[in-house]
Structure 1
Amino acid sequence: MASFSGLALTLLSVVALLLGNSHAQLTPNFYEDSCPDLLSIVQAQVEIAIKNEKRMGASLLRLFFHDCFVNGCDGSVLLDDTPAFVGEKNAAPNANSVRGFEVIDVIKAAVEEACPGVVSCADILAISARDSVVQLGGPDWQVKLGRRDARTASQAAANSSIPPPTSNLSELISSYAAQGLSVQDMVALSGAHTIGKARCTTFRNRIYEEANIDSFFSNTRKPNCPGTPGQGDDNLAPLDIQTPTRFDNSYFVNLVARKGLLHSDQALFNGGSTDTIVQNYSQNPDAFIQDFITAMIKMGDIKPLTGCSGEIRTNCRRLN
């Protein structure tokens, strides 16, 4: 009986270990032995990319967001369409909008040269997003790693899961809740709009039709964004009029002043339940930074592929 009990305990321990690993495989030191120079390789390439174009930092951060919101952080957004495969790049929220793929290609090539077949594209996205924030003056944090790459993608899920710039507050709350993210996570992550630019077609209605907007602000946007659809649709404007290439809390200061560029931005401060959070972040940058870090780590945990699931792509644009 004693030996049987010992065997049973051993089996239970193994099962517990396996179950625990299935939920806790993401860890900051995942590549410590298999690719020890990974973080410095990615950091160097992100630094070069942002030095060449400041906007690229915002683009890489957004790329990670658009990946995680569609069936989890699995690198599916990076897959190109083929005659036999429909990816997510041509979904409505991504087409002519999401960018930075070439930078990810360069980073992946550098990583593959150092550690062939080891590091996933999904993890490269996660690290690149963090490094972009740091390069633009934002906070640093430990990125949890160990994701694997999806062998599938879903254009339909991209169309339905990524909240559009026309979203109202209840729609935003629902979109984030579907990913396991709280209202506070949503507001903090929206603060990523302190960097980057938006196309005229995404904010035309806001500057011409909406009342909850500072008139001077809307008038400064109109010359580069004609009121007629189809004219100047791809012309760009900074999401943060104050410090568009610096990661700070100016986005929230702008919202309080009714200077949010997108409808979905200003929805966060428009007499609703998130007004107090926005007000707090506008006055307390440290609170925003801490909550942003928490939300980014939480977003990175959305349904990762681990263990034997998925694959480690050699080329982020196509399946092995």
Structure 2
Amino acid sequence: MANKLAALIAVIISLLGSVSCQASYGYGYGGYGGGNPTPPPPSSYPPTSPRPPTYPPTTPSPPAAGLRVGYYDDKCSGAEAIVREAVRGADAGVKAGLVRMFFHDCFVRGCDASVLLKPTEANPQPEMLGIPNLSLRGFEVIDKAKAALEKKCPGIVSCTDILAFAGRDASYFLSSYAIDFKMPAGRYDGNVSLASETLANLPPPFADVKQLKDMFAAKGLDTVDMVVLSGAHSIGRSHCSSFSGRLPPSNTSDMDPTLAAKLKGDCVSPNGADNTVMQDYKTPNELDNQYYLNVLNHKVLFASDAALLKATDTMRLVYAAAASQKLWQYKFGEAMVKMGGIEVKTAANGEIRKMCGFVNKAY
């Protein structure tokens, strides 16, 4: 086992060397780093693993058509800084909500800020009222940034790009500045938003590996992207109803018994409320690779989290992320950029909203 662990570390160090050469698309890690993560204990590695688990070496995907880094430099100078300052002032829970909101927006009709549209007489059931979106947080941060940008550069910066920048910046702050990448921009805002489309497009907490792979593949994201983005479960809170089937007296869950007993107590509500708990019991407000250690130790909330150990390819990716925080941080930034290119709207089928909660024709 000692030889296997040594081989794993050697491969990861070699891979990280190639990653540092590929990172020209982002700000890099220059001095921020992620500390010295503790790899999972040797005894937890797969006993029949034919090779050390690693991420496949890749180069960053090019931005989606029409998107580019620095898009607003000559259109609204300082636009990205305005968004970052709005995010900076939010608490950790809201920052976590912004990362989640970016994901929930892009997975329904693509990255088009449709999740931000509010109910109107013409459309009383927009995405934000879909069951998976009822607990979304951070709308006020987007509105604050949009108001400042409309004052500075009216009609220039889309709500979709604001949300993409906010997801990036929240990741930056929650990772203690370690997840630091450039987000291409140039998206337009969509004008259709339907609550009925949320359940069909957003991966449920009870999904198995096949369902997760299929739902990510439908958005142009691969298995690596899926496992890497699952690391966002290192932050934020979850309603107990999302994992109640994994708690005692269930005899089918592989959740750590001590954690399961604690969660059972935390989820008890005298008035029947659907309590919330931290998704990461150990570092709840830090976007780090602790999530993957939690997966290996059976200390995660969702069946979809536990499912990552039930397929060889996803299991290997979990081990790689658990062993190297810096590698996972790089891959997370890469996956966020790739996700930000899903079904991007253009001037031909989108608009630049005056207010993020309403399409322009409402004015």
The two structures have a TM-score, normalised by structure 2, of: 0.78
Whether 1:44 aligns to 2:82 is: no
Measured against aligned partners, the alpha-carbon deviations of 1:97-135 in whole angstroms (never above 9, x if no partner) come to: 112112211111111111111000000000000000111
Give the 5 Å matches for 1:272-311: 272-311=312-351
1:119 equivalent in alignment to 2:138:
no
Q: CA deviation at 1:23?
A: 6.0
**Distance (whole Å) between structure 1 residues aligned to residue 268 and residue 215 of structure 2:** 30
Partner of 1:132: 170
CA RMSD of aligned residues (A): 1.7
Task: Find the aligned partners of 2:276 and 2:64 in 1 and give their Cα distance.
Answer: 42
User: Equivalent residue for 1:32?
Assistant: 73
Structure 1 residues 187 and 44: CA distance shift in structure 2, 3 A: same
Shift in Å, 1:154 = 2.6
Contact kept, 8 Å, 2:206 with 2:303, in 1: the verdict is yes
Q: Distance in 2 between matches of 1:195 and 1:155?
A: 25
C-alpha distance in structure 1 between counterparts of 2:289 and 2:320, whole Å: 10
Summarize the alignment of residues 52-201 of structure 1 with structure 2, pairs less than 5 Å apart: 53-85=91-123, 86-95=125-134, 97-136=135-174, 137=176, 138-201=178-241
The 2-side partners of 1:270 and 1:207 are apart by 19
> Unpaired segments of 5 or more residues in structure 2?
1-62
Q: Point out the more displaced range, 85-94 or 191-200.
A: 85-94
Cα drift, residue 271 of structure 1: 5.2
3-state SS of 1:237 partner = strand
1:131–1:23 distance in 2 versus 1, CA, 3 Å:
closer
Give yes or no for contact 2:201–2:215 (8 Å, CA) kept in 1: yes
Q: Distance in 1 between matches of 2:191 and 2:311?
A: 43
Q: Are the equivalent residues in 2 in contact too, given 1:70–1:154 (CA < 8 A)?
A: no
Change (3 A) 1:152 1:191: same
Residues 113, 190 of structure 2: 8 Å contact kept: yes
Q: Is the 8 A contact 1:149 1:310 kept in 2?
A: yes
1:213 equivalent in alignment to 2:255: yes
1:190 partner amino acid: S
The percent identity for this pair of structures is 39
Give the superposition deviation at 1:24: 2.6
Distance in 2 between residues matched to 1:93 and 1:268, nearest whole Å: 21
Aligned counterparts of 1:125 and 1:189: Cα–Cα separation in 2: 17
* Count of aligned residue pairs for this structure pair: 293
Contact 1:121 1:313 in 2 (8 A): yes
User: Quick check: 2:64–2:344 contact (8 Å CA) kept in 1?
Assistant: no
Q: Aligned residue for 1:223?
A: 265
CA distance in 2, matches of 1:195, 1:121: 24
Using the alignment, how far apart are the partners of 1:318 and 1:291 within structure 2? 34
- Any conservation in 2 of the 1:200–1:232 contact (CA below 8 Å)? no
Query: 1:83 corresponds to which letter in structure 2?
Result: E
Q: Summarize the Cα distance change of 1:262–1:33 in structure 2 as closer, same or farther, 3 Å threshold.
A: same
| Stretches of structure 1 lacking an aligned partner (at least 5 in a row) | 1-21
Going from structure 1 to structure 2, the CA distance change for 1:227 and 1:165 (only over 3 Å counts) comes to farther
Q: 1:124 to 1:219 in 2, by over 3 A?
A: same
Larger deviation: 59-68 or 258-267? 258-267
Q: Is the 8 A contact 1:149 1:305 kept in 2?
A: yes
| Change in 2 beyond 3 A, CA 1:23/1:68 | closer
